[in-house]
A = this chain, B = another copy of it.
Amino acid sequence: MSRPDGRSPAEPRPVEIVPHFHRNAEGSVLYRAGGTVVLCTASIDTVVPPWMAGKGKGWLTAEYQMHPRASRARREAREGRGKSPSGRTQEIQRLIGRALRSAIDLDAIGERTIVIDCDVLEADGGTRTASITGGFVAAALALAKLRAADQIAPVLRDQVAAISVGHVDGEAILDLVYVEDSQARVDLNVVGTARGSIVEVQATAEGEAIERRDLDGMIDIGLVGVAKLVAMQRSVLASAGVELASLFQAGRFS
Protein backbone atom coordinates (compact mmCIF):
# COMPACT_ATOMS: atom_id res chain seq x y z
CA MET A 1 0.00 0.00 0.00
CA SER A 2 1.38 3.40 -0.92
CA ARG A 3 0.42 6.46 1.11
CA PRO A 4 -0.69 9.73 -0.52
CA ASP A 5 2.39 11.57 0.72
CA GLY A 6 4.79 8.67 0.20
CA ARG A 7 5.41 7.93 3.87
CA SER A 8 6.12 4.43 5.16
CA PRO A 9 3.37 2.88 7.34
CA ALA A 10 4.93 3.75 10.69
CA GLU A 11 6.28 7.16 9.68
CA PRO A 12 4.65 10.23 11.22
CA ARG A 13 4.29 13.47 9.29
CA PRO A 14 6.97 16.15 9.65
CA VAL A 15 6.12 18.34 12.63
CA GLU A 16 7.00 22.01 13.13
CA ILE A 17 6.34 23.67 16.47
CA VAL A 18 6.66 27.46 16.73
CA PRO A 19 6.78 28.44 20.39
CA HIS A 20 5.45 31.81 21.63
CA PHE A 21 3.49 32.38 18.42
CA HIS A 22 0.74 34.10 20.36
CA ARG A 23 2.17 36.95 22.43
CA ASN A 24 -0.55 37.42 25.04
CA ALA A 25 -1.12 33.89 26.31
CA GLU A 26 1.14 32.63 29.09
CA GLY A 27 2.19 29.79 26.77
CA SER A 28 1.53 29.14 23.09
CA VAL A 29 2.64 27.23 20.02
CA LEU A 30 1.71 27.13 16.38
CA TYR A 31 1.72 23.39 15.72
CA ARG A 32 2.04 22.11 12.16
CA ALA A 33 1.94 18.43 11.22
CA GLY A 34 1.79 18.27 7.45
CA GLY A 35 -1.39 19.98 6.36
CA THR A 36 -2.78 20.25 9.88
CA VAL A 37 -2.15 23.52 11.73
CA VAL A 38 -3.35 24.19 15.26
CA LEU A 39 -2.82 27.31 17.33
CA CYS A 40 -2.53 26.12 20.94
CA THR A 41 -2.57 28.69 23.72
CA ALA A 42 -2.34 28.10 27.43
CA SER A 43 -3.89 30.81 29.59
CA ILE A 44 -3.47 30.68 33.36
CA ASP A 45 -5.78 32.58 35.61
CA THR A 46 -6.03 32.73 39.39
CA VAL A 47 -9.62 31.60 39.56
CA VAL A 48 -11.23 28.19 39.59
CA PRO A 49 -14.75 27.06 38.71
CA PRO A 50 -17.27 27.71 41.52
CA TRP A 51 -17.55 24.01 42.42
CA MET A 52 -13.78 23.92 43.17
CA ALA A 53 -13.41 27.18 45.05
CA GLY A 54 -11.76 27.10 48.45
CA LYS A 55 -10.12 23.70 48.08
CA GLY A 56 -6.69 25.06 47.23
CA LYS A 57 -6.56 23.00 44.04
CA GLY A 58 -6.34 23.90 40.39
CA TRP A 59 -8.13 22.90 37.21
CA LEU A 60 -7.38 22.50 33.51
CA THR A 61 -9.88 22.60 30.70
CA ALA A 62 -9.66 22.76 26.93
CA GLU A 63 -11.57 24.31 24.08
CA TYR A 64 -11.32 23.18 20.49
CA GLN A 65 -12.61 25.02 17.49
CA MET A 66 -12.27 24.65 13.76
CA HIS A 67 -11.56 27.77 11.74
CA PRO A 68 -14.40 28.02 9.21
CA ARG A 69 -11.91 27.50 6.37
CA ALA A 70 -9.93 24.71 8.01
CA SER A 71 -10.94 22.36 5.22
CA ARG A 72 -9.14 22.56 1.90
CA ALA A 73 -12.34 21.99 -0.02
CA ARG A 74 -14.59 24.78 1.14
CA ARG A 75 -15.65 27.03 3.95
CA GLU A 76 -17.93 25.56 6.61
CA ALA A 77 -20.23 27.54 8.90
CA ARG A 78 -18.37 28.96 11.90
CA GLU A 79 -19.01 26.43 14.59
CA GLY A 80 -20.97 27.15 17.69
CA ARG A 81 -22.27 30.56 16.61
CA GLY A 82 -25.63 30.81 18.24
CA LYS A 83 -25.67 27.13 19.10
CA SER A 84 -23.71 24.70 21.24
CA PRO A 85 -20.53 23.14 19.94
CA SER A 86 -21.22 19.92 18.05
CA GLY A 87 -21.05 16.54 19.74
CA ARG A 88 -17.79 15.87 17.92
CA THR A 89 -16.23 19.11 19.19
CA GLN A 90 -17.32 18.47 22.75
CA GLU A 91 -15.99 14.94 22.60
CA ILE A 92 -12.64 16.24 21.37
CA GLN A 93 -12.25 18.98 23.93
CA ARG A 94 -13.17 16.60 26.73
CA LEU A 95 -10.45 14.26 25.44
CA ILE A 96 -7.83 17.04 25.28
CA GLY A 97 -8.69 18.13 28.81
CA ARG A 98 -8.46 14.61 30.26
CA ALA A 99 -5.17 13.95 28.47
CA LEU A 100 -3.48 17.09 29.76
CA ARG A 101 -4.92 16.81 33.27
CA SER A 102 -3.23 13.42 33.55
CA ALA A 103 0.14 15.11 32.98
CA ILE A 104 -0.13 17.76 35.69
CA ASP A 105 -0.60 17.46 39.44
CA LEU A 106 -3.42 20.00 39.61
CA ASP A 107 -3.55 19.75 43.39
CA ALA A 108 -0.13 21.39 43.35
CA ILE A 109 -0.80 24.49 41.25
CA GLY A 110 -2.99 26.30 43.75
CA GLU A 111 -6.34 27.84 42.86
CA ARG A 112 -5.53 28.41 39.23
CA THR A 113 -7.27 27.44 36.02
CA ILE A 114 -5.29 26.54 32.94
CA VAL A 115 -7.29 26.86 29.73
CA ILE A 116 -5.90 25.29 26.60
CA ASP A 117 -7.40 26.81 23.46
CA CYS A 118 -6.90 24.71 20.37
CA ASP A 119 -7.87 26.63 17.25
CA VAL A 120 -7.55 24.44 14.21
CA LEU A 121 -6.52 26.81 11.42
CA GLU A 122 -6.00 24.11 8.80
CA ALA A 123 -7.20 20.52 9.01
CA ASP A 124 -5.83 17.48 7.23
CA GLY A 125 -6.48 14.68 9.74
CA GLY A 126 -5.21 14.23 13.27
CA THR A 127 -6.45 17.54 14.65
CA ARG A 128 -7.34 16.15 18.07
CA THR A 129 -3.98 14.46 18.53
CA ALA A 130 -2.16 17.56 17.29
CA SER A 131 -4.12 19.57 19.85
CA ILE A 132 -2.95 17.30 22.64
CA THR A 133 0.67 17.19 21.54
CA GLY A 134 0.83 20.93 20.91
CA GLY A 135 -1.28 21.68 23.95
CA PHE A 136 1.23 19.95 26.18
CA VAL A 137 4.02 22.22 24.92
CA ALA A 138 1.90 25.34 25.39
CA ALA A 139 1.03 24.24 28.92
CA ALA A 140 4.70 23.53 29.70
CA LEU A 141 5.71 27.00 28.46
CA ALA A 142 3.08 28.59 30.67
CA LEU A 143 4.06 26.51 33.71
CA ALA A 144 7.72 27.34 33.11
CA LYS A 145 6.82 31.03 33.29
CA LEU A 146 5.10 30.53 36.65
CA ARG A 147 7.96 28.35 37.86
CA ALA A 148 10.52 30.99 36.81
CA ALA A 149 8.59 33.56 38.80
CA ASP A 150 8.65 31.12 41.71
CA GLN A 151 4.86 31.07 41.88
CA ILE A 152 4.60 27.30 41.73
CA ALA A 153 6.65 24.24 42.66
CA PRO A 154 7.41 21.60 40.00
CA VAL A 155 4.02 20.14 39.05
CA LEU A 156 4.47 17.84 36.05
CA ARG A 157 4.09 14.13 36.59
CA ASP A 158 4.11 12.96 32.97
CA GLN A 159 4.88 14.15 29.49
CA VAL A 160 2.05 13.33 27.11
CA ALA A 161 1.63 13.26 23.37
CA ALA A 162 -0.94 11.71 21.06
CA ILE A 163 -1.16 10.27 17.59
CA SER A 164 -3.65 8.50 15.36
CA VAL A 165 -3.39 5.03 13.88
CA GLY A 166 -5.56 3.51 11.20
CA HIS A 167 -6.16 0.12 9.69
CA VAL A 168 -6.29 0.46 5.93
CA ASP A 169 -6.25 -2.42 3.49
CA GLY A 170 -5.20 -4.85 6.21
CA GLU A 171 -2.25 -2.81 7.42
CA ALA A 172 -1.74 -0.55 10.42
CA ILE A 173 -0.57 2.95 9.41
CA LEU A 174 0.49 5.85 11.60
CA ASP A 175 -0.69 9.46 11.62
CA LEU A 176 -3.39 9.46 8.97
CA VAL A 177 -4.08 12.31 6.60
CA TYR A 178 -7.70 13.11 5.83
CA VAL A 179 -8.09 10.87 2.80
CA GLU A 180 -6.55 7.94 4.68
CA ASP A 181 -8.81 8.58 7.63
CA SER A 182 -11.91 8.37 5.47
CA GLN A 183 -10.79 5.00 4.07
CA ALA A 184 -9.68 3.45 7.36
CA ARG A 185 -11.65 0.43 8.57
CA VAL A 186 -10.55 1.11 12.12
CA ASP A 187 -9.57 4.41 13.66
CA LEU A 188 -7.52 4.58 16.83
CA ASN A 189 -6.14 7.45 18.85
CA VAL A 190 -3.48 6.83 21.47
CA VAL A 191 -2.47 9.25 24.16
CA GLY A 192 0.74 8.05 25.73
CA THR A 193 3.52 9.22 28.00
CA ALA A 194 7.28 9.60 27.83
CA ARG A 195 7.67 6.44 29.87
CA GLY A 196 5.59 4.41 27.41
CA SER A 197 2.42 4.02 29.41
CA ILE A 198 -1.07 4.77 28.18
CA VAL A 199 -3.38 7.65 29.11
CA GLU A 200 -6.13 6.95 26.68
CA VAL A 201 -6.97 4.58 23.86
CA GLN A 202 -10.00 5.09 21.65
CA ALA A 203 -10.43 2.47 18.96
CA THR A 204 -13.45 2.49 16.69
CA ALA A 205 -14.29 0.05 13.96
CA GLU A 206 -16.21 2.17 11.49
CA GLY A 207 -17.71 -0.78 9.68
CA GLU A 208 -16.78 -4.34 10.59
CA ALA A 209 -15.35 -5.38 13.95
CA ILE A 210 -11.60 -5.86 14.31
CA GLU A 211 -9.67 -8.87 15.61
CA ARG A 212 -7.99 -8.54 18.96
CA ARG A 213 -4.50 -9.13 17.51
CA ASP A 214 -5.01 -6.33 14.94
CA LEU A 215 -5.97 -3.95 17.72
CA ASP A 216 -2.84 -4.90 19.63
CA GLY A 217 -0.72 -4.16 16.56
CA MET A 218 -2.27 -0.74 16.17
CA ILE A 219 -1.56 0.16 19.79
CA ASP A 220 2.05 -0.96 19.30
CA ILE A 221 2.61 1.32 16.34
CA GLY A 222 0.83 4.19 18.11
CA LEU A 223 3.19 4.01 21.07
CA VAL A 224 6.16 4.18 18.69
CA GLY A 225 4.71 7.37 17.25
CA VAL A 226 4.12 8.84 20.71
CA ALA A 227 7.78 8.23 21.57
CA LYS A 228 8.90 10.27 18.56
CA LEU A 229 6.58 13.16 19.40
CA VAL A 230 7.70 13.19 23.02
CA ALA A 231 11.29 13.66 21.86
CA MET A 232 10.21 16.44 19.51
CA GLN A 233 8.35 18.26 22.32
CA ARG A 234 11.40 18.08 24.54
CA SER A 235 13.70 19.50 21.89
CA VAL A 236 11.39 22.42 21.10
CA LEU A 237 11.04 23.28 24.77
CA ALA A 238 14.81 23.15 25.20
CA SER A 239 15.30 25.49 22.25
CA ALA A 240 12.82 27.87 23.89
CA GLY A 241 14.93 27.78 27.04
CA VAL A 242 12.74 25.43 29.07
CA GLU A 243 14.43 22.46 30.74
CA LEU A 244 11.54 20.05 31.02
CA ALA A 245 13.07 18.07 33.88
CA SER A 246 12.93 21.14 36.10
CA LEU A 247 9.13 21.19 35.88
CA PHE A 248 8.74 17.57 37.00
CA GLN A 249 7.91 16.44 40.49
CA ALA A 250 10.66 14.44 42.15
CA GLY A 251 11.15 10.98 40.71
CA ARG A 252 8.67 11.48 37.87
CA PHE A 253 10.91 12.58 35.02
CA SER A 254 12.10 9.90 32.65
Residues of A within 8 A of B (CB): 22-25, 35, 37, 39, 41, 43, 45, 63, 65, 67-72, 74-75, 78, 80-88, 90-91, 93-94, 98, 102, 115, 117, 119, 121-122, 157-158, 160, 192-193, 195-212, 215-216, 219, 223
Assembly CA distance A39 to B157 (angstroms): 36
Interchain CB contact (< 8 A) of A201 among B35, B122, B203: B203
In the complex, what residues of B have CB within 8 A of residue A90's CB?
Answer: 86-87, 90-91
Tell me whether A41 and B65 are in contact in the complex, defined as CB-CB below 8 angstroms, given that A121-B22, A205-B102, A209-B199 are known contacts: no
Assembly CA distance A209 to B72 (angstroms): 35
Whether A209 contacts B102 by the Cβ 8 Å rule is yes
Least distance between A125 CB and chain B CB atoms (Å): 14
Some 27 contacts from A to B, beta carbons below 8 A apart, are A23-B37, A25-B69, A41-B69, A68-B117, A69-B117, A75-B115, A80-B82, A81-B85, A86-B90, A87-B90, A87-B91, A90-B90, A102-B205, A102-B206, A102-B208, A157-B208, A158-B208, A158-B209, A160-B209, A192-B209, A195-B209, A198-B212, A199-B204, A199-B205, A199-B209, A212-B223, A215-B219
In the complex, what residues of B have CB within 8 A of residue A87's CB?
Answer: 85, 87, 90-91, 93-94
Report how many copies the assembly holds.
Answer: 6
In the complex, what residues of B have CB within 8 A of residue A71's CB?
Answer: 24
In the complex, what residues of B have CB within 8 A of residue A195's CB?
Answer: 209
Whether B201 contacts A209 by the Cβ 8 Å rule is no
Assembly CA distance A117 to B209 (angstroms): 23
Assembly CA distance A23 to B86 (angstroms): 25
Interchain CB contact (< 8 A) of A45 among B39, B75, B84: B75
Interchain CB contact (< 8 A) of A23 among B65, B122, B193, B212: B122
Whether B223 contacts A198 by the Cβ 8 Å rule is no
Least distance between A60 CB and chain B CB atoms (Å): 13
Of residues A22, A65, A87, A206, which shows the largest number of chain B Cβ atoms within 10 Å of its Cβ? A87
Tell me whether A212 and B197 are in contact in the complex, defined as CB-CB below 8 angstroms, given that A35-B23, A94-B91 are known contacts: yes
Other 5 A-B pairs with CB < 8 A, given A24-B71, A201-B202: A69-B117, A87-B87, A98-B204, A102-B205, A199-B210
